[in-house]
Amino acid sequence: MSARVLVVYRERADVQPYADAIASVGVEPLLEEVRPGLGIGLCCGLVLTGGDDVDPALYGEIASPETEPPDPQRDAVEAALIDEALARDVPLLAICRGMQLLNVHLGGSLIQHLPTAGRHVRRTSDRSLPAHRVAIQPGSLLASIARTDTWEVNSRHHQAVARLASGFKICASDPEDGTVEAIELPARRFVLAVQWHPENQISSDPGQRNLFQSFATAL
């Protein structure tokens, strides 16, 4: 039987690309809509997906006009899953909103609306199309996965990491505007978070599939 990982989502219509990406590397995705009491259970990995903005109250700020209405239940459920994953040293892959919540829950903060948001919010019918380049930090976990110092990535986010949570390392950034694009937690077996959407790029860019393959290998 293949390894099984928990994939948390709010909108069913948006979760299938994540499931397909995980299945493509021989791992079984267990798709679970956000609900109170949700736990990792017998799963051996956790994937946090994209979605609406994290509540700014969680990092001590008032919502800016550009920030979306909060989803307190989702924030709380996913925060508890992060705690469980870290306590058990379960491999964790966090994507877009997942990266932002991971950083906030562990003590970081966010830029609520990027001055260069137009560069990072590219919504096209083909979600795999690259929007900009990221520079990958040499010696990082991400660098060992990418095997290159730059990647062309897609992008659908208007927020990003401001204050980095303690213990984390920035492993990719936008070389033009400095936006943090990926972070990792070296003290754990596998905790990697990216700001773009690799689940949409696995067919067009083998490197992006390597993200999921490396996650699978860590299970």
Active centre residues (catalytic): 96, 197, 199
Closest CA to 98 of 20, 187, 10: 10
Distance CA 164, CA 167 (A): 9
**By the 8 A CB rule, do 211 and 195 touch?**
no
Say whether 76 sits in a helix, a strand or coil.
helix
Distance CA 153, CA 130 (A): 5
* 206 to 136, 147, 152, 166, 198: CA distances (angstroms): 16, 11, 12, 32, 10
